[in-house]
Amino acid sequence: MELPGRPRGEILLPPGEMIDIRRRLRVLAARNDLVSVIACAFDHRTRMLPFIYADLRMIPAGVRAIGSALVDSGFAKTRIVLQQWNRHFAPREMRLDGRIPDLFLLSSMHLHSSECDRLIREACEIDPAQRPLIVVGGPWMIYEPWQVFSGDPERRASADVAITGEEYVLLSLLEVLLSLRAANESLRSVFLRARDSGALDRVPGLVFARSSTPDGPAEELVDTGIQRLLGDLDELPHPVLGYQLIEPPSQGRTLASQPLAARQIKRLSPVSSLVLTLGCKFNCSYCPIPAYNQRQYRGKSGERVADEIERIHQTYGIFAFFGADDNFFNDTARTLEICETLARRARSGERAFRKLRYGTEATVHDTIRLREHLPVIRESGLFAVWMGVEDLTATLVKKGQSESKTLEAFRLLRSNGIYPVPMMMHHDSQPLVSWKSNYGIVNQLHALRKAGAIYTQVLMLTPAQGSRWYENTYAEGLAFKSVDGIPVTPRISDGNYVVASKHPRPWVKQLNLLLAYTYFFNPLRALATLVRSKSDIPFADRDRRPAAEVAADPWAKGMRRRMKLKLRARLVDTVFQVAGIAGLLNTYRRTIGWAWHLFRGRIERQLRSPASDLPMRAPDGGPAAHALPGTRLSSSSGLRVDPGKLRELKLREHHE
């Protein structure tokens, strides 16, 4: 079920408000010596294709953005801990500047929730008199904030508050708390006072527990509603600030005395994620993105993007970036403003932009629409586009793509020196191989490889929280509750495992995923790339130095450099094949056992979507914006919200 939207006129923050709240917080920060630790939850059991290298080699944008916001608001005593690099980190032993933090922030995706739960439990083991305020955010909390609260007297470990939005929600929470804080009062103590007095009810984007007894188990959850969105992303804090807060990798349980040195950032994270644009005009039933963005399309100016790239490159030497876009080609004017600015800086000979290489996401439809602008887009440094092809025949998903249009988009990208990377979905009615058509998943991968794809991802269609399709997946009996006695947990709900299917032999679907990857990544194909490389496209071997510097090279040196660039361009395809094969071995290791359990059968299905065991309500007593059908409305009445009535209330709120 999609998130409801705010009333028209109240969706976006007033212009300048994101800058103003940081200015106000700097005044409060001068009177409050706040120590904060931010942790990014990561379950290492989820490491497999298609993200097996990016997961460890790119610092996540979310925790870095929160760190940047805190530093820019005056809270310099902040540390970011990545479980990707610090898997044994123990919150109960954390000390920063010799102190237990005042604020412990957790960010988690749904598939990493088991580690998030562990970190919350350990933080709750700290002496209550010194325990930090525990705040949980990230993609998981946007759709299932109730998951980090417990009403079980035997299981008392709970977060204090969940953030269901972006940086502004956290800063608004801190502004309220620090405005009420007494001298030497703990941040958690002032939070409890603010919660009980109703001071937090007017901060949209929060979920917190209420209880009739101090520090008792949660009895109900209060949901303050859908967040207000930042419209102009230029107002965000600069991302370069977050890099200076990273905890050095270690096997220890405590924090180091100093953050990671600047010279080590590029070695550990050679690719930097950047927020360029947010939002997508398509409204696919399996995707929660449009509803999350409340049908808004937001972005940064070209000058702001260029400034972020330049400062990150100058400070840390990074020149490879990935745009955290939902659809970078969604708006022509915004795309061209960013690309023309970067291309102009590259033509001026600036090192950061001559060496710049960035990838992003776009759709087939918008790629073809921008065909005449692809030369300047390539000149800006774009080298690869991850394309949501999903289904080449458009049988499952229709968003302006077809086989002919997809192949045309691939041709346009490659002829302009941009690698297309297809993202595919496998589904119940799709065979492994089909005859006289490209309906089979292997047939589609064959066509895309022939068209020039050097990498791909293939995932099983899986229930996505916040999507229109999510509730129907359970109502129609597709979703598994357990398989062969093994419960379906969040860590296997990432599309690599078959956890929702009406196919009579779901183990076939699991094997199809492995066989599809094996068709694309295999030793024979890796050897073939040495002869016929798909990565040798225009501009791939371009010398990006200034023309005068190239002309000044002696003939022999220039010839050697041209040969080196040509060889490097040809070997990119081979490198991706080798990396894919290595990742596939790990994918086999982790998922082949699940295929066996599916083969043995005994599948128990879940017939209703997960909902909060605790009653949820809005501050005024009405339905909670983040509650799913079946959630109790209030602890006193014991009534449950009728699914149809809840849907009607949310639709009415959206239209109003």
Are residues 531 and 633 both part of a single domain? Answer: no
The pTM score is: 0.93
For 584-614, the pLDDT digits (tens) are: 999 999 999 999 999 998 999 998 888 999 9
Question: Does the structure show a pLDDT above 50 at 249?
Answer: yes
Q: Is the pLDDT of residue 215 over 90?
A: no
The tens digit of pLDDT for each residue in 151-197 reads: 887 777 899 999 999 999 999 999 999 999 999 899 999 999 999 99
From 375-384, 425-434, 644-653, the region with the lowest mean pLDDT: 644-653
Report residue 208's pLDDT band, with 50, 70 and 90 as the boundaries. very high
For residue 216, the SS3 value is coil
Evaluate whether 123 touches 91 at the Cβ level (below 8 Å). yes
Asked whether 273 and 322 are in contact (CB, 8 A), the reply is yes
Same domain, 583 and 625: no
| pLDDT over 70 (residue 252) | yes
Residues 46 and 94 in one domain: yes
553-573: per-residue pLDDT in tens? 888 888 998 899 999 999 999
CA 159 – CA 374 distance, rounded (Å): 47
Q: Which residue has the tokens 């293939």?
A: 458
For residues 526 and 643, state if they share a domain. no
pLDDT digits (tens, 9 = 90+) for 338-370: 999 999 999 998 999 999 999 999 999 999 999
Give the amino acid at 444. Q
DSSP state of 492: G
Where a domain ends, among 205, 223, 241? 223
Tokens for 392, please give them: 């080449």
- Give the span between the Cα atoms of 573 and 534, in whole angstroms: 6
The rounded distance, in Å, linking the Cα atoms of 262 and 144 is 36
**Structure tokens that stand for 256 in this block:** 């180091």
Return the pLDDT at 635: 52
Give me 424's structure tokens: 């595919």
Gap between the Cα atoms of 312 and 240, Å rounded:
6
Q: Tokens 């989820």: give the residue.
A: 46
Residue 557's pLDDT is what? Answer: 86
Is 47 within the bounds of a domain?
Answer: yes
| Confidence grade of residue 400 (pLDDT, cut at 50, 70, 90) | low
- For range 102-116, the mean pLDDT: 97
What is the mean predicted confidence (pLDDT) over 30-34? Answer: 95
Asked whether residue 88 falls in the same domain as residue 26, the answer is yes
Band of residue 639 on the pLDDT scale cut at 50, 70, 90: very low
Instruction: Name residues whose C-beta falls within 8 Å of residue 412's C-beta, 6 or more positions apart in sequence.
Output: 367, 368, 371, 374
Beta strands in 484-590, from DSSP E residues, in sequence order? 486-487
The CATH number of the domain holding residue 33 is 3.40.50
Q: Any idea which residue has 């929660």 for tokens?
A: 288
* Average confidence score pLDDT of the chain: 92
Domain boundary residue, one of 186, 201, 223:
223
User: What percent of the chain lies above the pLDDT cut of 70?
Assistant: 96
Helix (H, G, I), strand (E, B) or coil at 612: coil
Whether 164 and 41 map to the same domain: the answer is yes
In a domain, 560, yes or no: yes
What total of structural domains would you count in the chain? Answer: 3
The answer on 639 and 582 residing in a single domain is no
pLDDT at 638: 38
Query: Residue 251: is it exposed, middle or buried by C-beta count within 10 angstroms (0-12/13-18/19+)?
Result: exposed
- Domain extent, residue 29, equals 17-223
| pLDDT value, residue 634 | 66
Q: What's the mean pLDDT in 432-445?
A: 94
Interatomic CA distance for residues 531 and 533, integer angstroms: 6
Give 301-342 pLDDT, tens digit per residue: 999 999 999 999 999 999 999 999 999 999 999 999 999 999
At residue 548 the predicted structure's pLDDT band, cuts being 50, 70 and 90, is confident
SS3 103: strand
Write the DSSP string, 367-422: HHHTGGGHHHHHHTTEEEEEEEEE-TTSSS--SS--HHHHHHHHHHHHHTT-EEEE
CA distances from 156 to 93, 121, 125, 160, 318 (A): 19, 9, 10, 11, 44
Q: Are strands 357-362 and 382-390 parallel, antiparallel or unpaired?
A: parallel
Residue 70: CA count within 13 A, CB half-sphere? 29
pLDDT of 654 strictly over 50:
no
Q: Where does the pLDDT of residue 543 fall: very low under 50, low under 70, confident under 90, or very high at 90 and above?
A: confident
> What's phi and psi for 357, nearest 5 deg?
-135, 125
Residue where one domain finishes, among candidates 172, 204, 223:
223
